[in-house]
Structure 1
Amino acid sequence: MFGKLDTISGEKVTIKLDDQLNLDKLVKYANGKTPTVELQINDGRHISPDQRKKIFALLGDMGDYTGYDDRETEIQMKYLYYRKTGAEKFSMANCSMSQANRFLAFLLDFCFKFDIPFKTKTWDMIPTNYHLAVMCLRYRKCVICGQPHSDIDHYTPVGRGNRALVDHRNLYFECLCRKHHTERHQLGAKSFIEKYHIRPVKLSEADLISLHIMTRKRMHEIDQGM
């Protein structure tokens, strides 16, 4: 459970929870006893409450999709993470911020690869950074709302000429569903990205080829000045 510090009065602390209290989970985790809670302050060195909240939101979505409970999902995903990356075992209570970011990116990649649906609330709390923007383009999900089968949109105008002749390696892209793509054209590119705080990104040559935006042959022709 996560929340924000509301008031402090002597030894009494009030916290406003982000979600309604799930009494069933509370009783389960406390083994029927009066639960003990821990107040953690972000010191800028260890995993932040915001990172932890995002990680557990993704794990919760995975658990809802697979039928495993939160703890089982965490154990399984950590095992896969250790096996793939060779990382040392870590605790979500006190790992470094960089370790938390790497694990968060791993979970995000896993959800995209296996098409695990995000709850709207989970999607809204994931930062629109470079990694997310690229994953949305690779898997054709709207960077704003997560809608599948979305459009690959040129943030950089390419004109009305033959797009096959354009060097897309120098251009910026974003993935938008039909609704948000239409809105982008209505608002204009600059106003649109300011409204949604998104960052269009350049794509690697491998991504441009896999998304059928360019061919290796065309890249070679451009590089040879043909």
Structure 2
Amino acid sequence: MQQPFVITSYNKKKRLLTVQLKEDLNIDRLKTMYSDDLRAVFGVLMLPDPRRFSEAQRLLYWALLGDIHRWSGTSTRQLNDYFREEYAIHYFSEISIADTSDASVTEVNNLIEMVLDFMFEWNVPFPRSYEILPKHEQFYHYQCCKHRKCVICGQSGADIHHLQAVGNRKRSQVDHRKFPLTSLCRKHHNEAHNMGVTQFVNKYQIHPVYLNGADLVRIGVMNMSKIKKFNENGEQ
């Protein structure tokens, strides 16, 4: 059941959103659906992105496919068909970045994220597209941490770097889920220590991310027993 509306106000403290419906709400249908108990009505707010995708997004998408082609030998046309099909399966919607397409910025970002996720997962080198990667976007920094690639130069086997001091505690005593992280190769890791956090972050436009327990276990920063112990201590 869809209901068009416009937002009239929002109370951030109370997380209270007030809307003006653009057409009458079919209360009788709602009562039928929820057995006359309107307090049980649950909905999900969908806010479509009105912005059409940009030429920069299109160039990045094809540059990424070009790098996968050079790595795998698969044609960019086949790769385009593959990722568009994966997008349709994941988002239940078709997408195109042709001139006649009206896909939004958000939709094409989601498509690009799927391609990047594939490249990070399979360790695909991206020498041609690296310079135009959206390094300012948190997704890129998250993927670099998740796959231990340097956010600055793309080198594999990077260190997970804390941008907030953890004090004198041993790493095994730190709940890394609570600290902002980035991923740096040894060269840039040393530069961060020598330069200082603020200057380093400003120089390279670092956007730290928080990793969940599963990701931290996957890259060997934490283990499940430590996470369980931290969770138990937090509940006390």
State the TM-score, normalizing by the size of structure 2: 0.71
CA contact (8 A) 2:83 2:114 kept: no
CA contact (8 A) 2:60 2:133 kept: yes
Listed one character per residue, the Cα deviations across residues 161-211 of structure 1 (whole Å, up to 9, x for unaligned) are 222222322211000001111111111111111001111111122223333
RMSD: 1.8
Q: Does 1:126 align with 2:133?
A: yes
Structure with max Cα Rg: 2
Take 1:92 and 1:190, find their aligned partners in 2: how far apart are those partners?
A: 41
Q: Whole-Å Cα distance in 1 between the matches of residues 177 and 74 of structure 2?
A: 42
The 8 Å contact of residues 152 and 175 in structure 1, kept in 2 or not, is answered as: yes
Partners of 1:179 and 1:165 in 2: CA distance? 26
Runs of 4+ in 1 over 6 A off after TM superposition: none
* One-letter amino acid of the structure 1 residue matched with residue 190 of structure 2: T
Percent identity (aligned): 35
Correspondence 1:55 to 2:61: yes
Residue 233 of structure 2 aligns to a residue whose secondary structure is helix
Q: What is the correspondence of 1:16-27 to structure 2 with a 5 Å cutoff?
A: none
Distance 2:234 2:217 in 1: 16
Cα displacement (A) at 1:97: 1.2
Look up the SS of the partner of 2:80 in the other structure: helix
Give the number of equivalent residue pairs: 181
1:78 aligns with 2:84: yes
Secondary structure of the structure 2 residue equivalent to 1:199? coil
Name the residue aligned to 1:177. 185
- Cα offsets for 1:68-90 (capped at 9, x unmatched): 33323212222233234322243
Equivalents in 1 of 2:190, 2:98: separation in Å?
A: 41
Letter in 1 for 2:141: A
Equivalent pair of 1:152/1:176 in contact (CA under 8 Å): yes
CA distance in 2, matches of 1:45, 1:150: 36
Q: Decide which of 210, 213, 224 is 2:218's aligned counterpart.
A: 210
Q: What is the alpha-carbon distance in structure 1 between the residues aligned to residue 171 and residue 78 of structure 2? A: 49
Within 5 A, what are the aligned runs for 1:1-226?
45-93=51-99, 94=101, 95-119=103-127, 121-128=128-135, 129-214=137-222, 215-225=226-236
Question: CA shift at 1:115, angstroms?
Answer: 1.3
- Displacement of 1:124 in angstroms is 2.2
What SS class does the counterpart of residue 68 from structure 1 fall into? coil
Match of 2:182, SS state, is strand
1:87-129 CA deviation, whole Å, 9 max, x = no partner? 224343322211111101111101111111111x412211222
Q: Per-residue CA shift, 1:138-162, capped at 9, x if unaligned?
A: 1110011110011011111112322
Deviations 1:24-45 (A, max 9, x none): xxxxxxxxxxxxxxxxxxxx82
Paired residue type of 1:66: S
What is the aligned partner in structure 2 of residue 32 from structure 1?
Answer: none
CA contact (8 A) 2:150 2:183 kept: yes
The Cα shift of 1:48 comes to 0.3
Distance 1:163 1:101 in 2: 35
For 1:105 and 1:71, locate their aligned partners in 2 and report how far apart those are by CA, in whole Å. 18
Q: What is the one-letter code of the residue matched to 1:64?
A: R
